[in-house]
Structure 1
């Protein structure tokens, strides 16, 4: 196949990429060195180096900076890594399903979930499955909402839990859960002794919050603007447990969903309710038209049962305005 050469000197990407090249790239990114990746893959270092070089030629951009024996991902390499890892995860799922079909072993469940639910509600929902109905293999992937939706659409996940908004064609939203956000601060903080935080308590304080501007952070910013709250700086975080650790270190006031706290209680912090409402919504989703196994249906029901035990939990049968 002939390749069109781009202005960068690299050829344009082909229609399909070699999975061996993707495996080598993901191994190098995960382990941090060509030598370590070669050992993990059972290949020689020159072979791994060649596979990475061939991948760069086919992609049309460099994925690694090289400085002698040291390597570091390029900005494009970091962005491509997320897609390559998602693809290989799906490929492994397909291989496992094929082996199960061959051996008539279909008792497996693939769950993709945002970290808040993966670390709190899902373990309890799995615990509630009867022993004789527990799948032979369960894979729980904790990842960002965007990746959850893509895994469900690609049908590499039987069940997904993603935060709102959810307006993607090709997915069925079974129900929406809602809990309020709370403030988390170090026990040594002056605000730790309060029963509830008022908007004025947060003025001038450093905010610790979700980094994604289109999901929970969008609602936090909107409510703060409505109440005239002006933070004295911001620390962005990509996961609630990171925000909790930052708050414990006394670096600011974390405004987080209360779900993670039920599964990962952290010492030396104080959890204080807010006098105003910042809702956190998540949806339980599956692929449209995908027949649901009895196990997946039990998990959907089990997730709802466990979520209903959360403080101030509300269930929505339709998508709320976010």
Structure 2
């Protein structure tokens, strides 16, 4: 088993964020040689190069970038522990850490929090907008009290409080040839460039299954890892985006048309916590309010307890 010192991870995070050893040293109050040594020790421990070095310019390797995502989850949890200790010392309501996929972190979650009376919420709420895989890991590691993740979810160690499903839409530029349609059928997508999710195990999977069932190929595709990017690409008339409807609710864009599909492509998500973890009163309020908000504000949503 590999063991890492917190100061090594803090140094690595600072270097990735700032882009130089010198800048990282200034940001966290250490000397540049100390930062260099901490990074070297961390690379020796993990067994692979974390950074590309080209004189003063530094960038993470592919492995370093993947590792940095986990580091940020850990450091965020560590900061939350500090806030909890401070709240306990002052006899205040404990802070809450929420991890959510970007589509829900920018739409359902802020809408739900806005519907909760301020006196029922703690003074500090930490929100991480991360991938579903990292949401699950944050909940299991108990660095997040609440997780909001997309399906599939079949992980031991999590409790699913409720799940929901919505139908995906097509989004096109107002200048796109399909913009005048009231609904888009599968046949309308033939010979169109499609803008879709990149992760093959989540939303991309039902998209491909639905198109294959209707004999629609995906020979021309732009894929990306966030719906708001898909919306921006569609706005520039680069193709037909097939997306979940939640991001557009939270971050509406001018210059596009959201058009329903005549065939089914579901997007599913759930609110999760760690099995056996007692829930604070504020956590229970947030979980309930997210379900109420989904039913009230998300068109055609179906929820399952």
Q: What is the DSSP-based 3-state SS (H/G/I as helix, E as strand, rest coil) of the residue aligned with 1:190?
A: coil
- What is the aligned partner in structure 2 of residue 200 from structure 1? 187
Q: What does 1:220-231 align with in structure 2 at a 5 Å threshold?
A: 220-231=207-218
C-alpha deviation, 1:37, in angstroms? 1.1
C-alpha deviation, 1:132, in angstroms? 2.0
- What is the aligned partner in structure 1 of residue 206 from structure 2? 219
- What is the aligned partner in structure 1 of residue 89 from structure 2? 102
- What is the aligned partner in structure 1 of residue 128 from structure 2? 141
Q: Which one of the candidate residues 285, 292, 299 is aligned to 1:298?
A: 285
2: CA distance, partners of 1:273 / 1:218: 19
- What is the aligned partner in structure 2 of residue 69 from structure 1? 56
Q: Which one of the candidate residues 247, 251, 261 is aligned to 1:264?
A: 251
C-alpha deviation, 1:227, in angstroms? 0.7
Deviations 1:66-106 (A, max 9, x none): 12222222222112111211111122122222222233223
Matched, 1:275 2:262: yes
Q: Is the 8 A contact 2:2 2:46 kept in 1?
A: no
Q: Which one of the candidate residues 166, 169, 172 is aligned to 1:182?
A: 169
C-alpha deviation, 1:138, in angstroms? 0.7
TM-score using structure 1 length: 0.91
Q: Assess, with a 3 A threshold, how the Cα gap between structure 1 residues 175 and 125 changes in structure 2: closer, same or farther.
A: same
- What is the aligned partner in structure 2 of residue 191 from structure 1? 178
- What is the aligned partner in structure 2 of residue 312 from structure 1? 300
Q: Is the 8 A contact 1:202 1:231 kept in 2?
A: no
- What is the aligned partner in structure 2 of residue 118 from structure 1? 105
C-alpha deviation, 1:107, in angstroms? 3.2
Q: Is the 8 A contact 1:128 1:302 kept in 2?
A: yes
Q: What is the DSSP-based 3-state SS (H/G/I as helix, E as strand, rest coil) of the residue aligned with 1:244?
A: helix
1: CA distance, partners of 2:123 / 2:301: 32
Q: Is the 8 A contact 2:101 2:131 kept in 1?
A: yes
- What is the aligned partner in structure 2 of residue 252 from structure 1? 239
- What is the aligned partner in structure 2 of residue 20 from structure 1? 7
Give the total of aligned pairs: 304
Q: Is the 8 A contact 2:73 2:143 kept in 1?
A: no
2: CA distance, partners of 1:101 / 1:178: 38
- What is the aligned partner in structure 2 of residue 235 from structure 1? 222
Q: What is the DSSP-based 3-state SS (H/G/I as helix, E as strand, rest coil) of the residue aligned with 2:168?
A: strand
Q: What is the DSSP-based 3-state SS (H/G/I as helix, E as strand, rest coil) of the residue aligned with 2:178?
A: helix
- What is the aligned partner in structure 2 of residue 86 from structure 1? 73
Deviations 1:36-60 (A, max 9, x none): 2112112222221121112112222
- What is the aligned partner in structure 2 of residue 9 from structure 1? none
- What is the aligned partner in structure 1 of residue 158 from structure 2? 171
1: CA distance, partners of 2:24 / 2:17: 8
C-alpha deviation, 1:31, in angstroms? 1.2
Gaps of 5+ in 1: 1-13, 318-322
RMSD: 1.3
TM-score using structure 2 length: 0.96
2: CA distance, partners of 1:223 / 1:49: 50
